[in-house]
Chains A and B, each alone.
Chain A
Amino acid sequence: MLRITLNRAVSAAILIVIASIFSFILIAAFPGNVAALIAELRGGFVSQEVVDQVAEEYRLNDPLILRYFHWLGDVVQGQLGHSLRTGESVAEALAERLKPTAVLVVGGSLVTLIMGVSLGFAGALWPNGLADRLIRVFAVFNVSLPKFFLAAMLIYVFGVQLQLLPTFGFRGPASWLLPCIAVGAVPGALLSRLIRVGLEEAMAKPYVITAKAKGFARRRILFRDALPNIVPVFLTAFGMNIAFITQSALIIEPIFSWNGVGAYFVEAARFRDLPVLQSCLLMFSVLFILVNLAVDLIVMMADPLQRRAKRG
Chain B
Amino acid sequence: MTWSDASLIAPILWVTLGGVAVLMTDAFWRRAGTGHLTAVSVVFLTIAAIYAARSDASGSAFAGALAADSFSAFFNLTFIVVALITLALGSSYFADEEQPLVEFFPLVMFATVGMMVMAAATDMITIFLGLETMSISLYVLAALQRRSILSMEAGFKYLILGAFSSAFLLYGMALLYGSTGSTHLPTMATAIQGVGFDRDLLFWMGWGFLLVGLGFKIAMVPFHMWTPDVYDGSPAPVAGFMAAGVKAASFAAMLRVVWTGLPALGDMWIDMLVVFAVVTMTAGNLIALAQSNLKRMLAYSAIAHAGYLLVGIVATTPSMTDPAARGILFYLMVYALMNLGAFALITLVSSREGEKVDLAGFAGLARRHPVISACVTVFMLSLAGIPPTAGFWGKVYVFEAAVRDGHTVLAVIALLNSAVAMFYYLRVVVLMYMREPEDEAYTGLDPQVGAAMVVLAVALLWIGLFPGPMAELARQGVSALAGSF
> Does chain A bind chain B?
no
Which residues of A are at the interface with B, using a C-beta cutoff of 8 A? none
- The chain B residues found within 8 Å of chain A, CB to CB, are none
